[in-house]
């Protein structure tokens, strides 16, 4: 069962098995989404919009606040220009020999399998026609899409989220050669090992429709994109020019997405029908959930990191656990599923 910390109130998985009595609405569940998703009813979610850990940050590490802080401290003491992203799997450097490439390949396949493990449960809980949008890097988005297609979804699009700025990174060849004493270093001025990254991918997949768009819409209130902009233009698959608000001073999450961006995605992908629930199985500090709440939609978040879950709870105004009505409840389920 799922148990609220500091509260005698418990919710058994049986209580979450009836889609008509979906008690997890407007809730934040704390634990591993691969396990907690199994407690949710089938075909109960209208859309999933989420920002999971990217491969270079995740595989083989305990991903909690202490580990994140350790990596941040390490990166801030280095010469890199990127100071807010924790260093990752250890594959960025090293000698590019056969062993390195084999390790890199295994790492990405492990990540793809991990994406499938939660993607299969997301598929089960989504309504027919539900749209799923998953943030990822330009290097790993294909593996996310393959994993989700294997889970049963079919590919619809890849939305480009163009950030307001990008930071050059990688090897400055001329500078490196000059440091090594190469007399011809200057002829390699301007050559680098990679391009400046100023966009993130949003993999968009969809659970198969029930016959067609209209029948799916009429039965489940999902399946379509809201493509009309306020200026009368038709929405493209490139999102840019979205302002980034200042994060609350208590929000220690290192990769918070702009609330304006998440509101835009929810508006595009989720009709504002009373029965529609927005899912984020990697809720972080809760920006997707905040966006859904501001738009009057029900939400369900899952977050494995207790510190981040507490931030999300504060942002959502969840002052007490076990409240009545639309259950804005923090359910601590890590290690408590029986």
The CATH number linked to 322 is 3.40.50.150
Cβ distance 134 to 114 under 8 Å?
no
Cβ distance 38 to 121 under 8 Å?
yes
DSSP labels, 259-277? HHHHHHHHHHH----TT-E
Query: pLDDT tens-digit profile of 168-216?
Result: 778 899 999 999 999 999 999 999 988 888 899 999 999 999 999 999 9
Which residues of the chain fall below pLDDT 70? 1-24, 55-94, 166-167, 245-255, 318-338
- 4: left (phi > 0), else alpha (psi -120 to 50), else beta? beta
Q: What is the pLDDT of residue 132?
A: 98
CA distance 316 to 311: 9
Q: What is the pLDDT of residue 92?
A: 56
The neighbour count for residue 276, using CB atoms within 10 Å, is: 21
End-to-end CA distance of the chain: 5
Q: What is the pLDDT of residue 30?
A: 93
Q: What is the pLDDT of residue 14?
A: 31
CA distance 127 to 149: 16
Look at the chain and count its residues: 338
Residue 320 within any structural domain of the chain: yes
Cβ distance 41 to 22 under 8 Å?
yes
Q: Do strands 2-3 and 10-11 pair parallel, antiparallel, or not at all (unpaired)?
A: antiparallel
Q: What is the pLDDT of residue 18?
A: 44
In degrees to the nearest 10, what's the CA dihedral of 275, 281, 284, 287?
-30
Residue 337 within any structural domain of the chain: no
**Which of 38, 31, 30 is closest to 14 using CA atoms?**
38
Q: What is the pLDDT of residue 2?
A: 34
The neighbour count for residue 22, using CB atoms within 10 Å, is: 21
Q: What is the pLDDT of residue 195?
A: 87
Residue 70 within any structural domain of the chain: yes
Residue 101 within any structural domain of the chain: yes
Buried b (16+ CB within 10 A) or exposed e, 226-262: eeeeeeeeeeeeebeebeeeebeeebbbbbbbbbbbb
Angle between helices 98-125 and 141-151 (to 10 degrees): 40
Residue 189 within any structural domain of the chain: yes
CA distance 38 to 123: 11
Q: What is the pLDDT of residue 175?
A: 95
What are 300's strand-pairing partners? Answer: 27, 279
| Residue 195 half-sphere exposure toward CB, CA atoms < 13 A | 5
pTM of full prediction above 0.75: yes
Q: Do strands 10-11 and 45-50 pair parallel, antiparallel, or not at all (unpaired)?
A: unpaired
Q: What is the pLDDT of residue 16?
A: 40
Q: 3-state class of 194 per DSSP?
A: coil
Query: pLDDT tens-digit profile of 288-298?
Result: 999 999 999 99
Q: What is the pLDDT of residue 66?
A: 59
Rg (CA), the chain: 21
Residue 13 within any structural domain of the chain: yes
Q: Number of folded domains in the chain?
A: 1
Q: Beta-strand (E) ranges in 120-262?
A: 126-136, 154-167, 197-206, 238-239
Residue 338 within any structural domain of the chain: no
Which residue range forms the structural domain that includes residue 325? 2-332
Residue 297 within any structural domain of the chain: yes
Angle between helices 287-294 and 259-269 (to 10 degrees): 60
């Amino acid at each position: 069962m799922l148990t609220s910390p500091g509260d005698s109130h418990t919710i058994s998985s049986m209580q979450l098995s009836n889609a008509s009595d979906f008690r997890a609405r407007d809730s934040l569940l704390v634990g591993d989404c691969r396990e907690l998703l199994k407690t949710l009813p089938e075909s109960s979610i209208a859309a999933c919009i989420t920002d999971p850990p990217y491969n270079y940050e995740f595989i083989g590490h305990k991903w909690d606040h202490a580990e994140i802080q350790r990596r941040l401290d390490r990166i801030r003491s280095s010469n890199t220009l990127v100071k807010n992203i924790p260093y990752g799997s250890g594959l960025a450097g090293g000698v590019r020999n056969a062993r390195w490439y084999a390790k890199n390949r295994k790492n990405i396949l492990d990540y793809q399998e991990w994406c499938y493990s939660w993607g299969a449960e997301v598929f089960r809980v989504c309504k027919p026609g539900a749209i799923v949008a998953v943030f990822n890097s330009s290097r790993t988005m294909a593996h996310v899409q393959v994993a989700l297609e294997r889970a049963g979804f079919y590919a619809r699009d890849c939305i480009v989220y163009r950030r307001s700025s990008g930071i050059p990174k990688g090897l400055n060849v001329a500078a490196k050669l000059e440091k090594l004493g190469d007399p011809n270093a200057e002829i390699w001025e301007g050559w680098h090992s990679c391009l400046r990254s100023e966009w993130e991918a949003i993999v968009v997949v969809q659970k198969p429709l029930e016959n067609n768009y209209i029948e799916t819409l009429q039965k489940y209130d999902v399946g379509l994109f809201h493509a009309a902009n306020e200026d009368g233009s038709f929405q493209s698959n490139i999102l840019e020019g979205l302002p980034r608000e200042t994060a609350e001073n208590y929000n220690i999450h290192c990769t918070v997405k702009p609330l304006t961006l998440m509101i835009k995605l929810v508006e595009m992908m989720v009709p504002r029908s009373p029965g529609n629930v927005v899912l984020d199985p990697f809720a972080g500090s809760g920006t997707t959930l905040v966006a859904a709440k501001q738009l009057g939609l029900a939400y369900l978040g899952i977050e494995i990191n207790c510190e981040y879950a507490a931030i999300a709870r504060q942002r959502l105004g969840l002052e007490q656990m076990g409240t009545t009505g639309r259950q804005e409840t923090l359910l601590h389920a890590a290690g408590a599923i029986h």
